[in-house]
Amino acid sequence: MVPFCVYLQRDGFNQNPLFECLVAQVPEGSQSKEGFTIVGYALYFDIYSTWKGRSMYLEDFYVMPEFRGFGIGKSLLSTVGKVAKEKQCARLQLRVLDGNTPSRDFYAARGAQDLTVNEGWHMIRFDGPDLERLAKETH
Amino acid sequence: MVPFCVYLQRDGFNQNPLFECLVAQVPEGSQSKEGFTIVGYALYFDIYSTWKGRSMYLEDFYVMPEFRGFGIGKSLLSTVGKVAKEKQCARLQLRVLDGNTPSRDFYAARGAQDLTVNEGWHMIRFDGPDLERLAKETH
């Protein structure tokens, strides 16, 4: 079994990376009991809208629980927004779970629209075996 | 005002295209009254999952109304699936409107999961002015 980080390294750290990532780092004096200095991250990549052009998707967004409440998430998110503007992205998209009220409020407070509530969009996914079957339907 | 197709040409037809597109073409004898021979298309691009790796997103998927019911959509979708497998994508994702029952049934019949219904995922989007404001929050 290949460790997970090998894939991340292969896919994100090459000439044509499939994603980019921002990390939140604290000075050594503020590190966690376990010695972490990277305490949060935001991982994103380019997507495209035929209506609006280049856009950005925030795939992963995380701050370690013991470092929440200090504005690290706010800072990471607004930096992602800044990178998106610099890359001339028209939109920043992401997803959130229905029951995750703190996150839903967090995004809404910053002006994000909930396209599932407002417009009725559903996320659909073909996973491994379904995708395999779909691909075999071609003739 | 720059015509729309100029942006599509710039963004999709270069060394690092932001999307790829499959088109469904009919022979000249089967063209529509207006003379169209391209009667459907599927536009997609790479996305990334930190759990599953490279994946694919089907952004636009369309068949002209007068050419529906002949299996063109099925054929386009399964070809997108085939391309996804060839590119070693783990997943194929897309979105559909709540009220679009024919499309929801079409995907479900092929094994796709509705992540909004099954897991409660909402699609969230920061648009132009909100993204602008978000980017300015950095300090």
Q: Do B113 and A127 count as a contact with CB atoms less than 8 A apart?
A: yes
| Tens-place pLDDT, residues B88-119 | 999 999 999 999 999 999 999 999 999 999 99
In the numeric block, the tokens 């029951």 are attached to: A99
Sheet holding B38-49, edge to edge: B20-25, B38-49, B53-63, B92-97, A121-126, B113-114
Look at residues A122, A124, A139, A123 and name the one whose alpha carbon lies nearest to residue B110. A124
ipTM for the assembly: 0.92
Beta bridge partners of B97: A121
Question: Residues 81-100, chain A: which have Cβ within 8 Å of B?
Answer: 81-82, 84-85, 89-99
Q: Do B134 and A78 count as a contact with CB atoms less than 8 A apart?
A: yes
User: What is the CA angle A27-A58-B114, rounded to 5?
Assistant: 140
A23–B contact, CB cutoff 8 A = no
Task: Report whether B60 contacts A50 (CB < 8 A).
Answer: yes
Q: Do B48 and A112 count as a contact with CB atoms less than 8 A apart?
A: no
For an interface test with B, the pick among A131, A132, A139 (most B C-beta atoms closer than 10 Å) comes out as A131
Task: Report whether B102 contacts A95 (CB < 8 A).
Answer: no
Q: Name the CA dihedral angle for B103, B31, B78, B51, rounded to a multiple of 10 degrees.
A: -70
| Tens-place pLDDT, residues A60-93 | 999 999 899 999 999 999 999 999 999 999 999 9
Does the predicted model carry a pTM greater than 0.90?
yes
Q: Do A126 and B46 count as a contact with CB atoms less than 8 A apart?
A: no
